[in-house]
Amino acid sequence: MRIAIVVGEVSGDILGSRLIKALLLHHPEITFEGIAGAEMIAIGCNALYPMEKLAVMGFSEILPRLRELLSIRKKLVQRWQQNPPDLFIGIDAPDFNLRLEALLHKKGIKTVHYVSPSIWAWRENRVKKIKGNIDQMLTLFPFEVDFYRKHQIPATFVGHPLADEIPLPSDQRSARESLGLDNETHLLAVLPGSRNGEIKRIAPDFLQALVLIHQKFPNWQFIVPLINNKIRFQFETLQQQIAPLLPITLINGQSRTVMTASNQILMASGTAVLEGMLINRPMIAAYRVSALTAFIIRRFKMIKSKYYTLPNNLCDEYLVPELIQEQVTANNILQEVEKQFKQSTQQCNYRSQRFHEVHLQLRQNASQQAAKTILSLLRC
């Protein structure tokens, strides 16, 4: 049995590796090929192209890479039409995968999309690209299934693998010990993003904010986990330009451990915000795209959801402060961090309880549930 699979970023690589392991438990003979990250490659997925080829976001940001991305997709379609896999799984990366799924589905190849695109939040018209072009949508969140059923698209809620992996509760003391940190220091974890574009657009304001925070709270400790050497070099270069004297600790990887060790988290909005919620820490989330992308989104009113971050949407209330586009300034970050730091015990306990409730809801043994759904589709 042969399965084709495509992921486009680190979070997809994590989901893909867990899913492959779950599928191999049932059928050790399955082979996998496609676009994969380090974790998927480590467990045997044959990477035809590196995952980093798809790691772009936004409208204007994708234009310089469009020809290359279209070429990669064309070559994958040709390969899999000439030698069809038993099934194709697209994990997230909707702008790349949805079209690929449609082309393969028309040739009779069964297709699964794992991780619903946020069409319930923005660009709802993308549902037209999904209907009739996939055999199954696997969703991470329960409310997404109702949306797809309304559009007559087969969908199954499988839960989120991170909710299965992250313990209830998370152990702050052990995390600090593993990082060699003092248990009494107030620790602010800073996650400026995992892409070059995120670092470029958000890290300068984060660094300027940390200078202000350090002036107000000189005993606080700042730790920044960075996903790879390239991103670390980019961040270090900005730090030397903006805040060369700022006492800050940089760590390779270990973002989950750093978040677990923290008292508060300042982060770029994305999958890491969900992870921070599951770890159950107070957070401030920032999000900024290029000016052109922001103009297009606002001009055509593409955002449909009440909130930008997943924790706020899942809880249906504003528990994670959101700084969006021009709101991402050093002074705004300082104000939000300080306000959160000074919240009452009652406010902190309420937020913690709501995060805990959502964690339980998402804890469904997701990879096994997804594998079972996929294998039942293969038996049809």
CA distance 307 to 312: 6
Fold match flag (2-159+365-378 vs 172-362) = yes
CATH topology for 172-362 is Rossmann fold (3.40.50)
Q: Is 66 exposed, middle or buried (0-12, 13-18, 19+ CB in 10 A)?
A: exposed
Please check whether residue 265 is in contact with residue 283, taking contact to mean a CB–CB distance below 8 angstroms.
yes
Q: Where are the domains of the chain?
A: 2-159+365-378, 172-362
The pTM (predicted TM-score) of the whole model is: 0.81
Does residue 318 come out as left (phi exceeding 0), alpha (psi in the -120 to 50 range) or beta?
beta
Q: What is the pLDDT of residue 55?
A: 66
pLDDT in tens, the chain (380 residues): 999 999 988 888 989 999 999 999 999 999 999 999 999 999 999 999 988 877 655 444 566 677 888 899 999 999 999 999 999 999 988 889 999 999 999 999 999 999 988 776 556 667 878 888 999 999 999 888 988 988 899 999 999 999 999 999 999 999 999 999 988 899 999 999 888 888 989 999 999 999 999 999 999 999 999 989 999 999 999 999 999 999 999 999 899 999 999 999 999 988 889 999 999 999 999 988 777 766 666 665 656 667 788 899 999 999 999 998 888 999 999 999 999 999 999 999 999 999 999 999 999 999 999 999 999 998 85
Superfamily of domain 2-159+365-378, CATH level 4: Glycogen Phosphorylase B; (3.40.50.2000)
